[in-house]
Structure 1
Amino acid sequence: MPVDVYREALRLASDIRDKYLRAVTYAKIGYYMYRAKKPEYKTAFKYAFNAAASIENPVLLVKALVEIGTYLRRADSKTAQKVFHQAYESILTFPEPLKDDLLEELVIRLLELDMPDDALFYATDVEDSVKRNDLFLKILRVYLKKGNMRRARLIIEQIDDEPWHSIAAIEAIKEHLKREEFGSAIRVLSELKSEYWLGEAMKEVAVYLKNSDVPTATYEKFVDIALGMSSDTGFDVLRSLLIGLGNQGELDFVMDILGRVYPDERLSIIEGIVKTSVDKEDVLFDLINHLEGEEFERIAGFIMDQLLSKSAHGKYRRLVKTIGERTMEDSVRVKVATYLAKLGDFEDALKFAQLVRGHYLRSLAFGSIAVAKLKAGDIDGAIDAALEVKDPKWGSWLLSEILTKILELHAEGEVSEDIEERAKHQRILWEKG
């Protein structure tokens, strides 16, 4: 390589007619001269600034300054900072939305150059709230990666809009957890205003605690801090934490803590665990094994409602049969029989339906089995199921309904599952009569 290659590059760059490209090329040459420890690199950057000064298009001038500053950053950071500020001041004179677009480009470039402080300063002037908040999140992640929690906290305080504020808070919470700053994590949690995002944050906490294999004492620390908050906020945090831990299978710990809260609050938390764990048969199965008496009956019915609201799946057979074997409530037995019938498990469905005593509920249980048998093409079985209701009124009603549904199946090729709604309607008619 010739000794004067850099000088030759500068000479050739002067022939570039496009002023923007000439300015950027000089800056690139200056950067490589600096890397080669050539003191003449300052001359190259001087040429770059002179070329930029001749650019008549103000937008191209700003873009040229940003490019020059980018290459200068590696050689002279203080001068580069001044160049970026010059670009920033020029951008402020532009109308919207051009101003915001150029500020966004500047902020992103500064983040690429590891200049988050400057990026944060310039981002505050972005008027479009969506762009501004998106940029704040980008800057926040840089500070969190650096472990600068003080700056991260400052950004969270500047974000008022949702969901950005909550997303930022959760990002900070995750970093606090990694650093085992549990008190700080709880403090950020307590400031979340949205119940949804509080729940999402606590899911992160619960997953972290579970996967990190931390001792029970750490769980206790979160609980103690939550209980020490104001009543409403404290319970919201505690509720979300316990639901998250329950979803992760930490039911021994959760049930122990639930012994310290009021019964209504306890039920609310257990129902929350059911809702978030409805796809986890093992968690639900473990949960009912922690419950007894009236509490078991209520949660068992709630679980069955959740399962019946979705398509029946064989993975829940063990859970449903266990509920059926333990419950003393006819209303729960009806739901168990209905679910098992949907699975095609008619033998067990009939077993639980036969335990139902009240005529109205018995008609619902055998009605659901009859409909399931019809859908399976077993017309004789459907009629036999209907005849299991011996009460003159309800037995006659159910047989009438099933005969009608046989005709419905024949004419339309399908059967509607509306036995419960029709039974309610019939009961109202009889009560009025």
Structure 2
Amino acid sequence: MVIDEIIETVETIPDPYLRATTYAKIAERLAKINDKRFKFVFIKAIETSKNIEDPVKVMKALLSIGYSMAKSGLKTSKKVYQRVVEDSKSLPAPIRDELMALAARYMLGLGEINEAIYYASEIKSEGLRDAVLLQIIRRNTALIGSEKVKVAYRIRKSKMALEMIHSEPFRSKALIEIMKSYFLMGSYENGINVIKEIGLREWAKYAFKEALFFLKEYGVLERYVIPLKELSKELVEKFGEDFKIELAIAFALTGEPFEAADLIRKLDGKELLVEASLRLLDVSPKHLADFIRTLNDREAAVVGKAVMNRFLEKPEDGDWEVVRAIWERTGNEEVMVKMVRYSLLRGDVEGAMRVAERIRSERLRSIALADIAHSLLKLGNVSRAIDVALEVRDRRFSSILMAEILLSAADTEIEKKVIANGTAKGLNGKKA
């Protein structure tokens, strides 16, 4: 079908709204190939819109036509939009708001940030206005990331839009976009300072983590550790003491375990280290292992006890890299006993033995060896269980353990001799 036939056939579309917008879209395509007929087709689109009975649909059609005209490079598109703005003033606020939101989004599609902000400012509904303004700011940030030109100009426009946003979470989300814009501009300290203005705890936490990831990716994190720490203190004052954990976890998750540990030490003590560690265990065991390796012996002992208790309660949560990190950082023998038990739960008797060999306390070593002996006994390795029991230095404890092993071994042998009818035979083969 040739172009002329296509244009003529549009007239057969029954719905005048779809007929008008179809004309406009065909005209837009003709303009792309420099076909001179595109202006004529746009005129057909405008004339067809006059046949739409619903005044709201007329305006929606004009917005769509104006968008196609702008895409085709026709400056008269702005007059079409101005006409809609004027004609829509007599409409009820909710209906006009929808039209202005649509106009703003069309302008956004064209990259016309100023125009988009203008139409958004005409929206009376705070929620809808703020949602559209947030879309505008996000689009502006994306343009900064792709263009790398007029960055300062675009940030000014985003800030202008921000001034009109009053409700949450739109304002907090918009501030995050402005933070990103500053980072893309290379103005890192300004970006960090924007986080202070965020009003919601959840989005402040998100912004802090995003800032760490961004600065790390750009290789400048070390230069901004001090302002980040200052910011973290302000956020703790703003959102409460438990926000310390969020900040420490953010540092840890971005591969800065030293900063994470240091933040907790400066803000408060060991209980927070434990809480942060257990949270990291839930989120990323790999980062927990790195975090534990930054701790001193006493800190690692406190954290190690809590983490190993979790592993003993839920062996499926266990992670050998975390266990290895605890092993490397603390010589606490109570923690070692827990490691022995965990190793046995996972079926690693040899690993349990290696840990037990490092325990010097007679009482704790006895407990660890008793656990190993019991595990060997369950595996049916009686002779080795006896050997382990003989290593227990406490004579009374060793004696109790040996007696228990031998009685258990005897019970096992007797059970083996139980015949089908449940009657045991003596060693001579006769019924006992």
Alignment TM-score, normalising by the size of structure 1: 0.65
Match of residue 336 from structure 1:
339
Kindly provide the amino acid, as one letter, of the partner of residue 342 in structure 2: Y
Kindly provide the amino acid, as one letter, of the partner of residue 232 in structure 1: E
Question: How do 1:75-94 and structure 2 match up within 5 A?
Answer: 75=74, 76-85=76-85, 89=89, 92=92
Q: Distance in 1 between matches of 2:351 and 2:11?
A: 90
Which deviates more, 59-68 or 148-157? 148-157
Which deviates more, 165-174 or 119-128? 119-128
Q: Distance in 2 between matches of 1:382 and 1:127?
A: 79
The alpha-carbon deviation at position 135 of structure 1 amounts to: 3.7
Alignment TM-score, normalising by the size of structure 2: 0.65
Any idea what SS the aligned residue of 1:49 has?
A: helix
2:282 equivalent to 1:275: no
Structure 2 CA distance for partners of 1:66 and 1:380, relative to 1, 3 Å: farther
Question: How do 1:107-256 and structure 2 match up within 5 A?
Answer: 107-123=104-120, 125=123, 127=125, 129=127, 134-147=131-144, 148-156=154-162, 158=165, 160-162=167-169, 164-214=170-220, 216-224=222-230, 226=232, 229=234, 232-233=237-238, 240=246, 242-252=248-258
Kindly provide the amino acid, as one letter, of the partner of residue 220 in structure 1: I
Identity of aligned pairs, percent? 24
Which of 290, 296, 306 is the equivalent residue of 1:292? 296
Is residue 340–residue 346 contact of structure 1 (8 Å, CA) maintained in 2? yes
Q: Distance in 2 between matches of 1:185 and 1:139?
A: 19
Any idea what SS the aligned residue of 1:344 has?
A: coil
Is residue 312–residue 342 contact of structure 1 (8 Å, CA) maintained in 2? no
Q: Distance in 1 between matches of 2:105 and 2:51?
A: 26
CA root-mean-square deviation: 5.0
Any idea what SS the aligned residue of 1:70 has?
A: helix
User: Which protein shows a greater Rg?
Assistant: 2
The alpha-carbon deviation at position 177 of structure 1 amounts to: 2.2
Kindly provide the amino acid, as one letter, of the partner of residue 136 in structure 2: I
Is residue 48–residue 68 contact of structure 1 (8 Å, CA) maintained in 2? yes
Deviations 1:391-431 (A, max 9, x none): 88xx89xx8xxx9xx99xxxxxxxxxxxxxxxxxxxxxxxx
The alpha-carbon deviation at position 82 of structure 1 amounts to: 1.1
The alpha-carbon deviation at position 282 of structure 1 amounts to: 6.1
Match of residue 308 from structure 2:
304
| Structure 1 unpaired stretches of 5+ | 408-433
Q: Distance in 2 between matches of 1:250 and 1:233?
A: 24
Q: Distance in 2 between matches of 1:364 and 1:341?
A: 13
Kindly provide the amino acid, as one letter, of the partner of residue 202 in structure 1: F
Kindly provide the amino acid, as one letter, of the partner of residue 184 in structure 1: N
